[in-house]
């Protein structure tokens, strides 16, 4: 699973990297992004002008609430790629509301005799920003309030990372961002083909300190490597 991640790339750079037309909501650097927080996602929507698609970056709450849910008490932070178009909680969003979740890396915990050891996993030198595959929803509450939420899509971890955890985020390579976000792609077979076409990422893990376990800790020291 993916339960904590990092995003420190400035919003101006994110706008350029992801090619967004505009953004909604404040994007602030975080070294300990956690469920229920407001975090940026990137997605495309048809506008009123026929055939015109705009790419936006907008903050949503991490923890997806399906549009049909009776309440927002059971948000889901991850969605399994293997069952994405089959599960009622995810299939509508997978067809019509796919997104990218900008991240410089994520944390995972490895169980061991001495307790759980946290690791930080990134794309390597400089920890460049990645685009995790995600889905998003809009839920209308009983007082007509709107809650915008998202979940990160996960897959079986590559063999090189399986010793840390058996699941990892689906990382969409930049040359597939347009395909992943395209709102015209909406059939189950097309979505399965998209997911199958995304190769397992080459991620570099490094041990980090246990301070990341407390969500109140949020500074660059969390991603500094610890002695092996």
* pLDDT at position 49 over 80: no
DSSP label at 85?
T
Cβ within 8 Å of residue 218, ≥6 positions away: 30, 31, 32
Is residue 156 situated within a structural domain?
yes
pLDDT for res 114 = 78
pLDDT for res 228 = 59
Asked whether 155 and 82 are in contact (CB, 8 A), the reply is yes
Task: Please report, for the domain that includes residue 204, its CATH number.
Answer: 3.90.1680.10
pLDDT for res 1 = 64
The stretch 16-40 carries a mean pLDDT of: 95
What is the per-residue pLDDT across 99-146, written as a single tens digit (0 to 9) for each? 999 999 999 998 877 788 999 999 999 999 999 999 999 999 888 899
Is residue 110 situated within a structural domain?
yes
Return d(Cα 12, Cα 15) in angstroms, integer: 5
What is the per-residue pLDDT across 56-91, written as a single tens digit (0 to 9) for each? 999 999 999 999 999 999 999 999 999 999 999 999
The stretch 48-59 carries a mean pLDDT of: 85
DSSP label at 139?
E
What is the per-residue pLDDT across 153-204, written as a single tens digit (0 to 9) for each? 999 887 556 578 788 999 999 999 999 999 999 999 999 999 999 988 889 9
The stretch 16-44 carries a mean pLDDT of: 95
Segment 119-122 long-range contacts (CB within 8 Å, at least 24 positions apart): 119/164, 119/205, 119/206, 119/207, 119/208, 120/6, 120/205, 120/206, 120/207, 120/208, 120/212, 120/222, 120/223, 121/161, 121/164, 121/168, 121/203, 121/204, 121/205, 121/206, 122/203, 122/204
* pLDDT at position 24 over 80: yes
Is residue 228 situated within a structural domain?
no
Pairing mode of beta strands 117-122, 204-207 = antiparallel
pLDDT for res 39 = 97
Provide the whole-model pTM: 0.94
Is residue 104 situated within a structural domain?
yes
Q: Which domain holds residue 75?
A: 4-223
Strand partners, 225: none
pLDDT for res 115 = 85
Is residue 77 situated within a structural domain?
yes
pLDDT for res 113 = 77
Higher local confidence (pLDDT), 51 or 39: 39
* Number of domains composing the chain: 1
Higher local confidence (pLDDT), 24 or 150: 150
pLDDT for res 9 = 97
Is residue 103 situated within a structural domain?
yes
């Amino acid at each position: 699973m993916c339960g904590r991640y990092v995003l420190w790339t400035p919003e101006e750079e994110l706008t350029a990297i992801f090619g967004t037309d505009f953004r909604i909501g404040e994007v602030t650097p975080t070294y300990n992004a956690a469920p229920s927080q407001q975090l940026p996602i990137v997605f495309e929507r048809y506008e009123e002008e026929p055939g015109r698609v705009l790419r936006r970056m907008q903050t949503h709450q991490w923890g997806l609430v399906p549009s049909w849910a009776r309440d927002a008490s059971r948000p889901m932070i991850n969605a399994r790629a293997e069952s994405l178009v089959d599960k009622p909680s995810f299939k509508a969003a997978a067809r019509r509301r796919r997104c990218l979740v900008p991240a410089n890396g994520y944390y995972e915990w490895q169980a061991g005799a001495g307790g759980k050891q946290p690791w930080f996993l990134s794309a390597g030198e400089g920890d460049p920003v990645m685009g995790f595959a995600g889905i998003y929803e809009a839920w209308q509450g009983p007082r007509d309030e709107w809650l915008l939420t998202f979940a990160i899509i996960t897959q079986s971890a590559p063999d090189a990372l399986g010793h840390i955890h058996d699941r990892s985020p689906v990382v969409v390579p930049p040359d597939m961002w347009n395909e992943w976000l395209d709102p015209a792609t909406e059939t189950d077979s097309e979505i399965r083909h998209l997911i199958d076409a995304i190769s397992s990422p080459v991620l570099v893990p490094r041990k980090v300190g246990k301070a990341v376990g407390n969500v109140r800790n949020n500074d660059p020291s969390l991603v500094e490597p610890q002695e092996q």
